[in-house]
A and B are shown apart, each in its own frame.
Chain A
Amino acid sequence: MLELKKTVVTQGTFHIQLPDLAFDPGVTAIMGPSGAGKSTVLAAIGGFIALRQRSLFWEGVDISQYPPSKRPMAVLFQDNNLFPHLSLFRNVALAVSSKTRLPAPQAELVEQALSRVGLAGMGERRPSDVSGGQQSRAALARVLLQDKPIVLLDEPFSALGPAMKQDMLDLLADLTAERGATVIMVTHDPNDAKRIAHKISVVDRGTATPPMPTETALATGGPLAGYLSG
C-alpha cells in the first residue's frame, strides 16, 4: 500500500493541498482539468518535487526523502523515455546495468523483457528507426525490467493513435497485474480510465479526492461530471 499523508505540494508559486491518499495494487487514474496539477502530484510521488518528511509511506516505511531511484517506483514520462542515441537494447539494459559489456545473464533478461513487449530481435535498432508504438513498447520493457512494485505513468501513450494506445494500455494492465503492481496513471482521457483503472483520484481546484471506484467518479453527477460534459 502506498500512502500519501495530508500535505502541501509546491512547485514555484503553485500549491496543491493534498488530503490523505492511499493507493492499492491495480491501476489508479489521476484525472482533472488541464493545469490542475495532475503531473505535479505524480512528480511529488516520484521524488522529482520535494515532499515534507513523513508524508509518503510504502508498506509503512517513510520514503518521502528517498531520491527517485531509491523509491520502489518505475516511471514512464510523457516523452523523452528513451535516449535517442542508444539502441533499444541499451535503453532497456540501463534498468539493470550501465556496464559497456553486459554479463550474459543480464543480457538474457533484457532480451526476455523485449520479447514480452513484442520487440524480440529488434534490440539493435535505435528509437528513431522504429514506430512510436514500438518506442512505447521499449520504454515499457524497461519498466518491466526495473521490476519495481509501483509504476508511475504521466500520459505516456498520449502521442499514439487510439487503437495503438488501447493496445499499449492493455499490455500495461496485463503485465502489471501479473506482478500485483500498484500503477498510478495521469490521464485526461476518461476512456483510458474506463479501460484499465479500477479507481480514480480527481485533482481540481488546488486539491485532490481520495481514489474512488471508477464508475462512481465517472457517473453522471460524479466529481468529473462538469469536466466530462465541458
Chain B
Amino acid sequence: MASRVVAIIMGAAVLAAILLPLGAVWSASDGLVRPTADDWASIRFTVYQASLSAVISVGLAIPVARALFYRHFWGRDVVVMLMGAPFILPVIVAVLGLISVFGQNGLVNGVLGYFGVKTVSIYGLQGILLAHVFFNLPLATRMVLAAWGAIPTERLRLAQSLGLSGLALFRIIEAPMLLRVIPAAFAVIFVICLSSFAVALTLGGGPKATTLELAIYQAFRFDFDLGKAASLGMIQLGLAGSAAVALTLIGVRTDLGQGLDRPVLRIGDPVWRIILDVFHIMWAAAFLLVPLGMVMAYGLWGISSLGGDVWIAAGRSILMALASTVLCLGIALCLMHKWGEVIGSLGIAISPLVLGTGVFLMLRKIGNPFEYALVVTLCVNALMALPFVLRILRPAAEDTRAHYGRLAQSLGLSPWAWVRWVLVPRMARTLGFAAGLVAALAMGDLGVIALFGTAEHATLPLKLYQLMGAYRMSQAAAAAVLLVGISLGLFWLFERLGRRYA
C-alpha cells in the first residue's frame, strides 16, 4: 500500500535525522572516558536543580490545583487557561520578566531595599529554580487538577452525603489520587528540567550553576573544543535519555489536556478554607502574570524605536517557524501509527544541543556549518515538537479511521483522496491546534540557534538574548513584546484557521 511505503520512508528519515548526528557526536567524543571533576560538578548540578525544581513545582501546585478544583468563581476558566499558556511562552521572555521582578533593579529588591534589606541576586541556583517553577508550576497544576477532575463526581457526592469532610475526605479520596499523580508530575518535570538550556544560559553559569546543556554550549562556543562538547553530549544523552526512557516505561503521559471542568459545589466550607484557597489562586496568578506584565509595560512603548536588525530577525524567525510547522505536521501525518509515535518520541530523549552538536560535526565535512544555521534550527525544532504533535494528532486520526475507515475502503478512496477529503477536514481543529503549538514553540526557541547563530542568521530570541547581554534592557523588553506578540499571534492564527475549517 502506498501510504505504508510513505510511512516507512518517513520513519527511516526521522530515525536517520536523529541517529546520524548522534553517531557523529559519538565518534568525535573520546568514547567512554571517565568524566572530569568539572563534568561531575555539572552532572551533580543538573540532577540537583532538576530534582529541586520538580519538588517545588509539584509541592506548590497541589494547593493551587485544590483551590481551582473546589472554588467556583468568575474567571476560573481564564485562570485554568492561563496555566496552559507558559507552554508556548518563549523562555527568554519569561526570564526577562522574572529579572524585572526579582532582578537587581527589580520590584522585589526595590521593596527589600526600601526596608534596608540586602538585595538578593537572581543569578545562580535560585534564579534557575525560579524560572523552572514559573514554567512547571502551571504544568504540575494542570496535571494535579486533571487528576482531581478524574475522581468520579458520584464518589465526591457520596462523600458529601456521608458527611465526610476535612481529614476523612482527604484520607479516603484525595490522598490515593495524589499518590498516583504526584510521582508522575514529578517525573515529567524532572526530565524537562534535566535538558533545560535557555534558563541556564540566561540565569546560570559559573562553576556553581552550570548544567550539562550549558557546559556543552560553553565547550562549543567559548573553547571551540568539539571533542569536549561531544563527550559532554554523550553524558547528557545518557542522563536525559535514560530518564526519558524510564518515564515512558512507567507509563507517564504529559497531558496537555484541553479542558477540565465540572467544579464541585462545596457548601459549608469553613471561612479560613475559602480564604486560603483564594490566597493560593491569587499568588499563583500573580506569580505568572506580574513578570509578563512588567515586560509588557516596559516594552510596549519601545517597539517603534527597535532597530531594523530586530525587525529583520523577527521576519527570519517567522519564516523559520512557518517552515518548521509545515515540516513537523508533514512528518506527523505520515507517522500516525503506534511505531511512528515511538520513533517520533525519540525527540524527547535527545536534547537539541546534543543534536545540534552532531549536525555541526557532520556539516563541517561539507562546508561552513554556520551557513546552515537556520535550516538546522528549523529541522531540529520540527523534530523537538514532533512528540507533542503526534500525541495530539493520533487520537483524532484513530477516531476518524474508526468512524470512516470502512466507508473509505468500500469507496476505494486513494490514500491522497482519504487525506484530502476525510482526514484533514475531520481533523482540522486538532491540526490547527497542533500547528499553533509548533509555530509558537519554534518561534520562541533559543536552543540550537544559540550554538550556530551568527549576527547575520540571528532569530528574534537570539537577538533578544544579545540585547540582554549588552544590557540594553529597554530594547530587550521591546523585542520581548514583539516576540510574545508574534508567538501568541501565530498560535491564535493557526488555532483559528483550524476552527474555521472544522
Contact = CB atoms under 8 A, between A and B. Distances in A.
Chains A and B come from one and the same complex: yes
Interface of A: 46-48, 67-70, 73-75, 77, 80-81, 83, 85-86, 90, 94-95, 98, 100, 146
Given A85-B426, A86-B425, A68 B403 contact: no
Interface of A is mostly: loop
A83 B410 contact: no
Given A69-B409, A86-B421, A98-B414, 18 more contacts: A48-B406, A48-B409, A67-B409, A68-B412, A69-B410, A69-B411, A75-B406, A75-B410, A83-B404, A83-B421, A83-B425, A85-B425, A86-B425, A90-B421, A94-B413, A98-B416, A98-B421, A146-B411
Interface string B124-158: 00000000000000000000000000000000000
A83 B422 contact: yes
Nearest to A94: B411
A98 B420 contact: yes
Output the residue of A46, A73, A83, A100 with the most chain B CB within 10 A. Answer: A83
Nearest to B412: A69
Contacts of A86: 421, 425
Interface string B395-421: 000000001101101111110110011
B207 to A, nearest CB: 59
Contacts of A98: 413-414, 416-417, 420-421
Contacts of A95: 411
A88 B284 CA distance: 51
9 contacts: A48-B409, A67-B412, A68-B410, A73-B410, A77-B406, A83-B422, A85-B502, A95-B411, A100-B420
A94 B404 CA distance: 13
B412 A70 contact: yes
Contacts of B412: 67-70
B179 to A, nearest CB: 36
Contact of A46 (B410, B417, B425, B502): B410
A77 B405 CA distance: 12
Contacts of B417: 94, 98
Size range of the chain B interface in the assembly: 10 to 19
A81 B403 CA distance: 9
A73 B409 CA distance: 11
Contacts of A85: 425-426, 502
A60 B73 CA distance: 72
Contacts of B426: 83, 85
A86 B413 CA distance: 15
A149 to B, nearest CB: 14
Contacts of B404: 80, 83
Contacts, number: 54
B313 to A, nearest CB: 39
Contacts of A81: 407
A168 to B, nearest CB: 18
Nearest to B400: A83
B425 A77 contact: no
B400 to A, nearest CB: 10
Nearest to B426: A85
B1 to A, nearest CB: 10
Contacts of A68: 406, 409-410, 412
Contacts of A77: 406-407
Nearest to A93: B421
Interface in B407-452: 407, 409-414, 416-417, 420-422, 425-426
A80 B403 contact: yes
Nearest to A74: B410
The residue among B404, B407, B412, B421 with the most chain A CB atoms within 10 A of its own CB is: B407
A70 B410 CA distance: 8
A61 to B, nearest CB: 18
Contacts of A73: 410
Nearest to A73: B410
A77 B416 CA distance: 23
Nearest to B1: A67
Nearest to B414: A98
A74 B406 CA distance: 11
B430 to A, nearest CB: 13
A85 B499 CA distance: 13
A174 to B, nearest CB: 23
Contacts of B411: 69, 94-95, 146
Contacts of A48: 406, 409
A46 B422 CA distance: 21
Contacts of B421: 83, 86, 90, 94, 98
A85 B404 CA distance: 12
A80 B410 contact: no
Nearest to B409: A68
A159 to B, nearest CB: 16
Nearest to A82: B407
Contacts of A74: 410
A47 B407 CA distance: 12
Nearest to B424: A85
